Structure 1
């Protein structure tokens, strides 16, 4: 029998009809680096029952010393999750997902699964190959720093951030999904809400195309800028200031993590990279003209940045400081009821708008 835990019945807020605060099940997080660790911190701070596994024994000890329920024993953690009927969150690098799914299928065969991996198509394919599609709802928080590991994790990392939730299984089954999958989708949405993030629905391929542009390409550009600056020698590095610092911030990410993100999303990333190379080539042509000019690129870039600031809800000063915010973004909002007639069409519409959703 499952352990007895406080259960919060799904309810409707009388003022805004949004989802109830707590999940009906505990949450088990597999991988407690920057993202998984920050999620565990947020869930505990919110009063939600959550525990986790970390491959690093030292990381697990550090987390436990801070009062978190953490183990470095994967099999015992998954057995506990099965007993608890927990929601499992895969928060490992993409290269470890296949093996993690093997273990989940063996030791926690009835648990619902979500993840926080930055590439969604490959994870969805892996889930399908393990026969777990009806137990999976994908996720990806668009937040982070250049640091990694438990010590890099922080409470509040996801506040105001976009957090993608996928719904491909509903389309692949032509809407004939099980009630348990709808409930799982609902539970994942509630978990996201507990972190203060904004829920953004997307299909896996649309997600990967978007993050290639706004997450993975920036890594390539940051690495390139860091190398070009370093190649300038000691004087260049001594003179490097704000624009170089901000432009190369994510170049401080562990190389293996960057490879995992970019190489597993290569097809979408190459399309975005080609577009960037074309813009740079045009800028080079403009600079080699008799009267050098980059007016077109500078103007287009400025207008694009203004649109981003309006959508994110943050001004330039806040963006430059990399601060979290409790303000609501400029993303449009749609409200929906999971499982209701037409709810998948609503998700597609929200995706087309880049809208955040409130679930009731």
Structure 2
């Protein structure tokens, strides 16, 4: 059933955690004309955000975005004055555990999210207002998700320059295990193996090694929390990689090259504000690019 949702003035946004992701989001939203406040336990992060036009305060309302590490997610709102009517979303890289903790506490006020953006850098000094431009932003639509609140979170992502991919938490975790979490483990394995190969190998390392190991330059504690928080799907995705490595090398190289160099066009679509229709868009590999009154506009790949 399609739910009519009228266009309403966009509420303020409050960002909890003003490191790379949170600080970049706050800066992007300020640039987009949104009213933005935020909080971080680090005074330096608060000062940096304030210099970019973010009002630092413990009083949060509108759409509250949790941009803290996964281990801190459940207690991110402790000690803060949050409007009980606020919509709460997050930027965590794993969704099922966050839904089980934060989602269980907040009920239909919570909408899980994860922007596929970021670099190996961290902290407020890595803030980049353009970080989310063109990025995919997964936004969870569970059976109990309030569609009006989902749209509020979607508007935040769109205003930051991202494209919204409707997913369930379980679908998200399976997908990112393959495209994000296993690549972190492979980067770690490659770096460790080259380290064992000795100083000559490291001296000759160039573009392939740099590109293949870039992500493992991230904070090890953050990477460990990510892969352990999504252990089941990550183990399954890693097993699929091991199977691929057992193939004859010419076949493996050809198959990987075909996937990596495949191109697809885009077909514009208009989707009603309906959970099933939105999830079908995400499952087809598409994304939402614009919110309308009773629809969203977006695209699906066309091969």
Q: Secondary structure at the match of 1:145?
A: coil
Q: Secondary structure at the match of 2:111?
A: coil
Q: Where in structure 2 are there 5+ consecutive unaligned residues?
A: 1-5, 293-303
Aligned to 1:190: 155
How far apart, CA to CA, are the structure 1 residues paired with 2:52 and 2:35?
A: 13
> TM-score scaled to structure 1, two decimals?
0.75
Aligned to 1:69: 54
How far apart, CA to CA, are the structure 2 residues paired with 1:102 and 1:335?
A: 40
Aligned to 2:226: 261
How far apart, CA to CA, are the structure 2 residues paired with 1:70 and 1:237?
A: 46
Residues 138 and 166, structure 2, Cα contact 8 Å, conserved in 1: yes
Moved >3 Å (runs of 4+): 101-104, 330-334
**Bigger helix fraction:** 1
Structure number, greater radius of gyration: 1
How far apart, CA to CA, are the structure 2 residues paired with 1:262 and 1:331?
A: 32
Indicate how the Cα distance of structure 1 residues 194 and 88 shifts in structure 2: closer, same or farther if over 3 A, else same.
same
Aligned to 1:251, which of 198, 216, 223?
216
Aligned to 1:355, which of 286, 293, 301?
286
Aligned to 2:243: 278
**Bigger strand fraction:** 2
Q: 1:17-60 CA deviation, whole Å, 9 max, x = no partner?
A: xxx9xx52110000011111110110011111111111212222
Is residue 62 of structure 2 the alignment partner of residue 86 of structure 1? yes
Indicate how the Cα distance of structure 1 residues 349 and 145 shifts in structure 2: closer, same or farther if over 3 A, else same.
same
Shift of 1:241: 0.6
How far apart, CA to CA, are the structure 2 residues paired with 1:157 and 1:337?
A: 29
Root-mean-square deviation (CA, aligned residues, Å) is 2.1
Q: Secondary structure at the match of 2:137?
A: strand
The 5 A counterparts of 1:257-336 are 257-280=222-245, 282-283=246-247, 286=248, 294-307=249-262, 310=263, 330=265, 332-336=267-271
Residues 332 and 353, structure 1, Cα contact 8 Å, conserved in 2: no
Aligned to 1:155, which of 105, 129, 144?
129
Residues 332 and 354, structure 1, Cα contact 8 Å, conserved in 2: no
Shift of 1:197: 0.9
> TM-score scaled to structure 2, two decimals?
0.88
Indicate how the Cα distance of structure 1 residues 135 and 333 shifts in structure 2: closer, same or farther if over 3 A, else same.
farther
Shift of 1:102: 5.0
Indicate how the Cα distance of structure 1 residues 331 and 145 shifts in structure 2: closer, same or farther if over 3 A, else same.
farther
Q: 1:112-143 CA deviation, whole Å, 9 max, x = no partner?
A: 1011101011111113431x121011111101
The 5 A counterparts of 1:102-141 are 102-103=78-79, 107-130=82-105, 132-141=106-115
Q: Where in structure 1 are there 5+ consecutive unaligned residues?
A: 1-9, 12-19, 287-293, 312-329
